[in-house]
Structure 1
Amino acid sequence: MKWALPGAMIATPELMELARVADECGYDAIAMPDSVFYPEHVSADYPYSPDGKRMWSPETPMPDPFIAMTAMAAVTERIGFYTNVLKLPLRDPLLTAKQVSTMAVMSGNRIAVGVGLSWIPEEFRFTGTEMRTRGARTDEAIQILRAVCAGNGPEWVEFHGKHYDFDRLMISPTPDRPVPVYGGGHSDAGLRRAARYADGWISVNTDTAQLKDAIARLTELRAEHGRENEPFEIDVSPTDVSDIDGYRALADIGVTRCRVTPWRLYDVDPSDPQERLDAVRRFADDAARG
């Protein structure tokens, strides 16, 4: 089992020290969220809470994930970084591929990209993008990202889709190893997208029963596309597991990496930076012994 830490809702200056400590303690990665802005008025319910309300205030820090990941990569040596998840249909895929490829090269191949759709209509309206086609455009954008960041160094690529179309072009620098792209979401469309186009899948915060159902469906869909024997990351954040044995048991259902929040597992003040780092170290010790 691999272990990742979430970088969400942590004061931005504290992320650097979190990355250093996580690197020293042997964590696999840090997952960074993506939130471009907070609309004062949102015309849709948040899909992951019982009452449809967001669980955070508008001023909660959400730094640009690519900039934060680059900064953390610069002060670490081994640990990886990925988005959880990048709202890909809000962005131009070629410009995103340029950023990702540069990050991968400069970090020494320590970057991955988890992608999602965004649920906020105002994000699409205010950025001049179309919400109606977000799923189809994300399918195409994943293919573009994987083509540009295929791990062959700079090479000619082209793409001819319904929503994105370009002739042969070359982006440089590009990495000498493929940049993993993970699909997020529990809808059947999201699972199909991950199974068909992506290198793995990222769950939302949910319980083990829902994870089992999603993983079983992913297994079916990957077989449909002839991808059942390809490497595939399954990255989860279970809400009903709170000890090392419980986390490790998830490997039996196909989980390859768990996002854990040590400062929520132990009796510490999660708002205290030092207590947070102490919890990160403690969990690493417990995992090593377990």
Structure 2
Amino acid sequence: MKYTVSIAMGPVDELVEIARTAEEVGFDAIALPDSLFYMEKQAADYPYTPDGSRMWNADTPWVDPLIAAAAMGAVTSTLRFYTNVMKLGSRNPLLLARQVGSVANLTRNRFGFGVGIGWAPEEFEWCGVPFARRGKRVDEMIEVIRLVLAGGMVEFHGEFFDFDRLQMSPAPSEPVPFYVGGHTDVALRRAARVGDGWTSAMMTGAQLAETIGKLNALRAEFGRDREPFEYQAVCIDKFGVDGHRELADAGVTDNIVIPWMFDGLSFDAPLDKKKDSMKRFADTYIHSGWQQT
């Protein structure tokens, strides 16, 4: 099982040093969250908290994940980066293809594209995109972005997007993996059908095991059960070596963690404290050899 550090809601000026430290102590990747803006009034419930409230406020820091990946990639050589997840629905696929291809090239193929739809009607409507039929639109967006990133002269004529022959160069020298987020049945089917992996929001170990079972069945249904597939998980109730072993046994391939939270620190804790937490976490789980026992 791999280990990824999430940088959710942390100060922007700490990110480059966190990437350096994550690589030094042995983490595999950085997970980059996405939020366009904070609307004062929300028209829909946030889907990943019991009461629908957001876990952040207007002053919580966010950075564009693609820009962050490029900046953090410039000071590292082995660490990988992936969006967790980028909300596609309010964006344009050709512009995204240009950005994703640039990040993949700048990081020398150390970037994975975690994708979702987006839950907030305001993010769609205030960016000039209808909220209606968002799932179908995102399905087509994934097709467009993958097509363009593959390189060469391409064209696309779909229901939502239509363009004649064009080419973006340079194309990434390796395919960019797509990790599909979401917990609904339609999201799981999307992940099984077109994804190179699935990424969770906050879930219990039991929920993760059940969902991974569903995804394995769906992948078999789509004839993709022999292809490599990542299960990236944020688990809220499996801790310690025994808990991590349970997650691995359930099929989790990538454990997304915020190490300083396990030490009782906040998102805006001092950088040196966060670095200490990352090293302590790595010594306990990454270098302890528990996966060989």
> What is the TM-score normalised by the length of structure 2?
0.94
Report deviation, 1:252: 1.6
Percent identical among aligned pairs is 50
The equivalences for 1:61-72 within 5 A come to 61-72=61-72
Deviation at 1:168, TM superposition (A): 2.7
| Superposition map of 1:32-111 within 5 A | 32-111=32-111
Once the two structures are superposed, the pairs formed by residues 116-135 of structure 1 within 5 Å of their partners are 116-135=116-135
Q: Distance in 2 between matches of 1:146 and 1:89?
A: 16
| 2:19–2:72 contact (8 Å) kept in structure 1 | yes
Within 5 A, what are the aligned runs for 1:210-289? 210-268=207-265, 271-287=269-285, 288-289=287-288
RMSD: 1.3
- After TM superposition, the runs of 4+ consecutive aligned structure 1 residues lying more than 4 A away are 267-270
Q: Given that residues 38 and 58 in structure 2 are in contact (C-alpha distance below 8 angstroms), is that contact kept between their aligned partners in structure 1? A: yes
In structure 2, C-alpha distance between the alignment counterparts of 1:127 and 1:267, rounded to whole Å = 38
- Per the TM alignment, residue 267 of structure 1 is displaced from its structure 2 partner at its CA by 4.7
State the SS of the aligned residue for 1:177: coil
Gaps of 5+ in 1: none
How far apart are residue 77 of structure 1 and its match? 1.1
- Report the CA distance shift for 1:269/1:118 in structure 2 as closer, same or farther (over 3 A): closer
Count the aligned residue pairs: 287
Q: Secondary structure at the match of 2:84?
A: strand
**Match for residue 15 of structure 1?**
15
Q: Residues 3-22 of structure 1, C-alpha deviation per residue, up to 9 Å, x if partnerless?
A: 00001111000011100000
Q: Distance in 2 between matches of 1:66 and 1:269?
A: 24
Shift of 1:52: 1.3
Distance between the aligned counterparts of 1:79 and 1:121, measured in 2?
34
Any idea what the Cα deviations from partners look like across 1:226-276, whole Å, max 9, x if unmatched? 111111111001000121331132122211101012112125565122111
Question: Partner letter of residue 37 of structure 2?
Answer: F
- 1:155 paired with 2:152, answer yes
CA distance, structure 1, for counterparts of residue 147 and residue 279 of structure 2: 38
Equivalent residues of 1:268, 1:279 under 8 A apart? no
CA contact (8 A) 1:269 1:275 kept: no
1:6 is aligned to: 6
Return the letter of the residue paired with 1:22: A
